[in-house]
Amino acid sequence: MARQSSIPIILASTSPRRRELMQLLDLPFTIEHSRYEEPSPPVTATDISVLVQDLAANKAEEVARRVTASLVIGADTLVGPDSFTGIPFGKPRDREDAAFMLRQLAGSWHRVSTGIAIVPAGTLSSLTRPIVDVVTTRVKFREMSDTQIHDYISTGEPLDKAGSYGAQGFAARYIESIDGDFYNVVGLPICRLSVLLEPILIAATARLQLER
């Protein structure tokens, strides 16, 4: 993907992990915090993959309403049981909530779903339509004792992460297997985002050049 894109890109997230992953696209972008307020957990979802797409779109659309010609990227990640239904795990409310989540995940498979949305803002809305997608990765945790759970929570790592763990951090010692996109588990499926973003940038850039 060419770094010389003339289309402004905005990441509607202040997550340091998503910011780092966005840099792998080798495209200039800015960050704008989305003011969209997510529903408080627990939320029972008939389909978690649909829920994360809705949340990602809502985040991106809120920012798109406040900015000029740009492509706004929103994302939302939730952890759920090894099915597409049930009560998803977002970020824990406190240490006790983190311990509860980790006990549920220990010794079993679960799914990590990230919704991604690309929403055109301003004049770009006439060049391309919003795109929303989801990537799901299965993750297997080994068994964890209460002492291991307590020690992991004591690192502070689980407290700002969906499902109460960071696959790229200290939780690596407990992840037995991953089936799918690792970066999706971290918080942004960068390969899928690149596939969706590239044709939009090419088409939008060509259209703008014709209009000049």
pLDDT in tens, 118-130: 999 988 887 778 9
**Residues with catalytic annotation?**
76
Tally of CA atoms within 13 A in the half-sphere of 190 that contains its CB: 15
Phi–psi pair at 34, nearest 5 degrees: -80, 135
The dihedral of CA 16, 17, 20, 23: what is its sign? negative
Structural contact between residues 136 and 180, judged by C-beta atoms closer than 8 angstroms: yes
Q: Is the pLDDT of residue 2 over 50?
A: no
| Percent of the chain at pLDDT exceeding 70 | 90
The yes-or-no verdict on residue 40 having pLDDT over 70 is no
Which whole number is the average pLDDT over 5-11?
86
Strand pairing category for 70-80 and 109-121: antiparallel
| pLDDT, the chain, mean | 89
Q: Quick one: average pLDDT of 110-122?
A: 94
d(CA 161, CA 101): 11
pTM given for the model: 0.88
In order of their start, the domains of the chain are 9-211 (3.90.950.10)
pLDDT at position 89 over 60: yes
Q: With cut-offs at 50, 70 and 90, classify the pLDDT of residue 1.
A: very low
* Res 142 pLDDT > 60: yes
